[in-house]
Structure 1
Amino acid sequence: MNLLYWLEPWEPSPTVVIVMLIAALLFARGVRKAKVSVARQLSFWFGLVALYIALHTRLDYYFEHEFFMHRAQHLVLHHLGPFFIALSYPGAAMRAGIPFVWRQRFLRPALQTRWVRITLDLLFHPVVAVVLFVGLIYFWLLSPIHFVAMLDWRLYRVMNWSMVIDGLMFWWLVLDSRPAPPARLSPGRRILIVVAAIPPQILLGAFIFFTPRELYPIYSICGRAFTWLSPMRDQQIGGLLLWIPGSMMSVIGALVALRHWMRLSARTRLRNEKRAPQTTSVQSKASSRALPVRQH
């Protein structure tokens, strides 16, 4: 078996191919116009390739037939791939990759609509972001939900895409390197939300690891890829993957957010951030005092 064999999709999905091609094309076009360092480019391509491998290769067969492989897949879809894409800060490059006419006619008006702004404000609220990030892991690992998701290919794809989209939103919020505004959260809050996501992952991973009964019999019913691995051992390895690597990714995210905080503080960007509202209020008071002046 060669590399092409493993790159061949187990279940072909036009959606995966189209989304990956669009993202790659926009970023490649934008790099020509926006200033993107080599390190950021490598980070983006690594994250995108990782998502493609976890979604659209022959490895998908093993993701569907072993619990610990399924957890490894979601570790890539929810943590690793989105983390490296967000770490590359591709927003400016991808916007530059969109034709200017399309940005003016479609993208900007769509982002300025009331419902889009309300939806984005809700999804990027720190409490909602943490609840979604952790809640989706818990939801898809509920035994009845997981059983159905692994049997229905449509629900299986919804599960995987929900992890990708939520991972991108969460890490985009946490790894934003700008002061607030224009970033949605201040550096301190970014650290708090990623730290808040660690304990629930540890608890769930520990619960799966120490549970003395089989929680996910669907893998035994459909047939396991590795017959030499017992169901309980498979479950324990899956719990460890959620417990240790998943939590470690959050710790790394907190360290990156802390680094951004220290960098902004060293450049006095945080002081300017605090003074901006005061300057605005002073200017508004001065302008209001100037209004009663009459012209003769």
Structure 2
Amino acid sequence: IGWHDPNMYNAALRYEWVHNLEHLTFFVASMVFWWYATGAGPYIHEQKSLLGRIAFLIGAVPPNMVVGVVLAFLPEVAYTYYLSVPRLWGIDALTDQRIGGIIMWIPGSMMFLIAALVLIARMLGGESKKPRLSEKDNWGNEKIVAAPGIKRPS
């Protein structure tokens, strides 16, 4: 959420290293978030229950909605940089910001809810009750699947 602050955003436009840091934090935060939410990441710790992961996904909706709604309904342009750049398709900066806010708010929030619905379907379908793969199978052995270089407690 911090990168949506106009001061942080303008700093990212002004300084290349801040811009690179912004993109790095987007990438790392999203990888960690979706690894945890889907259970697809490296086995560094015990995987959370489906119910816990569903709550995690639903809990991500309000912050996303707040930023999207604020951007969609602000009476002025939040990011002044966009007042000075060429406009595509004749859309003014405020309309562009409002469209961006709506996209962040509705389709952006839907992604979290769709993922939560997939986990709910998995939970109701008995997916969580299926036995784990045997230890002799590589995919059932957390020590083999763990991220390279991570020391797992025995």
Task: Using structure 1 for the length normalisation, give the TM-score.
Answer: 0.40
User: How far does the alpha carbon of each residue in 1:190-210 deviate from its partner, in whole angstroms, 9 at most, with x for none?
Assistant: 000110010121122111111
Report what 1:249 is aligned to: 111
Query: What is the CA–CA distance in structure 2 between the aligned matches of 1:225 and 1:263, rounded to whole Å?
Result: 52
Whether 1:193 and 2:64 are equivalent positions in the alignment is no
Q: C-alpha displacement at 1:241, in angstroms?
A: 1.4
Query: What is the CA–CA distance in structure 2 between the aligned matches of 1:193 and 1:157, rounded to whole Å?
Result: 28
Report what 1:164 is aligned to: 27
DSSP 3-state at the match of 1:244: helix
Tell me if the contact between 1:201 and 1:242 (Cα under 8 Å) persists in the aligned partners: yes
> Percent of aligned positions with the same letter in both sequences?
26
User: Gaps (5+ residues) in structure 2?
Assistant: 133-154
Report what 1:30 is aligned to: none
Q: Which has the larger radius of gyration?
A: 1
Q: C-alpha displacement at 1:212, in angstroms?
A: 0.5
Query: What is the CA–CA distance in structure 1 between the aligned matches of 2:122 and 2:97, rounded to whole Å?
Result: 37
Query: What is the CA–CA distance in structure 2 between the aligned matches of 1:189 and 1:268, rounded to whole Å?
Result: 19
Structure 1 runs, 4 residues or longer, greater than 6 Å off: none
Q: What is the correspondence of 1:225-264 to structure 2 with a 5 Å cutoff?
A: 225-226=87-88, 228-261=90-123, 262-264=125-127
Q: C-alpha displacement at 1:182, in angstroms?
A: 6.5
User: How far does the alpha carbon of each residue in 1:211-231 deviate from its partner, in whole angstroms, 9 at most, with x for none?
Assistant: 11111111223x135261101
User: How far does the alpha carbon of each residue in 1:57-78 deviate from its partner, in whole angstroms, 9 at most, with x for none?
Assistant: xxxxxxxxxxxxxxxxxxxxxx
Q: What is the correspondence of 1:67-216 to structure 2 with a 5 Å cutoff?
A: 138-176=1-39, 183-216=46-79
Query: What is the CA–CA distance in structure 1 between the aligned matches of 2:47 and 2:129, rounded to whole Å?
Result: 20
Cα-Cα RMSD: 2.4
Report what 1:23 is aligned to: none
Residues 191 and 181 from structure 1, CA distance in 2 versus in 1: closer, same or farther, beyond 3 angstroms?
A: farther
Residue type matched to 2:94 in 1? M
Tell me if the contact between 1:205 and 1:240 (Cα under 8 Å) persists in the aligned partners: yes
Report what 2:138 is aligned to: none
Q: C-alpha displacement at 1:232, in angstroms?
A: 0.8
DSSP 3-state at the match of 2:8: helix
Residues matched between the structures, number: 130
Residues 182 and 217 from structure 1, CA distance in 2 versus in 1: closer, same or farther, beyond 3 angstroms?
A: closer
Residue type matched to 1:245 in 2? P
Residues 250 and 232 from structure 1, CA distance in 2 versus in 1: closer, same or farther, beyond 3 angstroms?
A: same
Query: What is the CA–CA distance in structure 2 between the aligned matches of 1:159 and 1:146, rounded to whole Å?
Result: 9
- Of structures 1 and 2, the one scoring higher in RCO (CA 8 A, sep 6+) is 2
Question: Which structure carries more helix by proportion?
Answer: 1
Task: Using structure 2 for the length normalisation, give the TM-score.
Answer: 0.74
Residue type matched to 2:91 in 1? L
User: Gaps (5+ residues) in structure 1?
Assistant: 1-137, 270-296
Query: What is the CA–CA distance in structure 1 between the aligned matches of 2:86 and 2:126, rounded to whole Å?
Result: 49
Tell me if the contact between 1:146 and 1:216 (Cα under 8 Å) persists in the aligned partners: yes
Query: What is the CA–CA distance in structure 1 between the aligned matches of 2:44 and 2:51, rounded to whole Å?
Result: 13
Report what 1:267 is aligned to: 130
